[in-house]
Structure 1
């Protein structure tokens, strides 16, 4: 989907995040010489067409004190992964949950869910809750803990 010059300017102005002010769209609009309504409509259209995937806060879990960030990976039946994934995603401590392809025989996992704990015990308790929820549907699982932050930004384009 091609983008026009105004969309490109909006993307460039917001790609590092919306301004942390009470009226962020107004601030972007003033910077670009547009109305806040025009910025919001353009961003909504770009989101509908897939140019922008989502508009969301991206917390730095480490700065918030969450030092034990684990990607849990689960081997569940492919016929049940959607329903089970919805259940896991509904847990308030799961920040993201999705299905990924298996790579047999070395990687049998298809359901991924990220958990965050201030202590290893906190994270382990969350993993145990997911394990209880999945029950016999989880044939096996692993927890892959983050050791460093590699990237906390999305795609950047030049102005």
Structure 2
């Protein structure tokens, strides 16, 4: 990571500019070409310096009031296959494998759902249960009670 990469990182700490062409806006702010900004950000993503570039919607402002992290107890030897199926459901915003913490926390598959009504969220959870079928040994759902501030990279300035 060189000085230009650091400048890009600092300029994007709060996210990309909310403009029709964010990479062009960023390039103009930094005195670079849009192509160089995009290439450098792609290289930082490939190397793992940047984990991902994506939009973070405010589900509440979009009308989704029932945002729940569903948690599932499935056999470890099936989790990759099952997680792929669950993650491809159109209403699942993210899905991942997490370690169990037995005996208090037996769950190893997590999937976030978003519903405008309780009935919609419940229907989504039932669809996940159908996908998991006989492999579902237990489940729960943890509903959001408030919006947490989501932020990106923060640098100490070094």
Q: Using structure 2 for the length normalisation, give the TM-score.
A: 0.96
Task: Give the alignment of 1:61-100 within 5 angstroms.
Answer: 61-100=59-98
Task: Report the counterpart of residue 43 of structure 2 in structure 1.
Answer: 45
Where does the alignment leave 5 or more consecutive residues of structure 1 unmatched? Answer: none
The Cα RMSD (Å) is 1.0
Distance change (3 Å), C-alpha of 1:67 and 1:96: same
Deviates more, 1:9-18 or 1:46-55: 9-18
* Aligned-pair CA distance for 1:54: 0.7
Task: Report the counterpart of residue 130 of structure 1 in structure 2.
Answer: 128
Q: How many residues align?
A: 157
Indicate conservation of the 8 Å contact 1:12/1:158, yes or no: no
SS at 2:76 equivalent: coil
Deviation beyond 2 Å, 4+ runs, structure 1: none
SS at 1:43 equivalent: helix
Where does the alignment leave 5 or more consecutive residues of structure 2 unmatched? Answer: none
Q: Does 1:155 align with 2:153?
A: yes
Rounded to whole Å, the distance in 2 between the matches of 1:18 and 1:103 is: 37
SS at 1:79 equivalent: helix
Indicate conservation of the 8 Å contact 2:15/2:152, yes or no: no
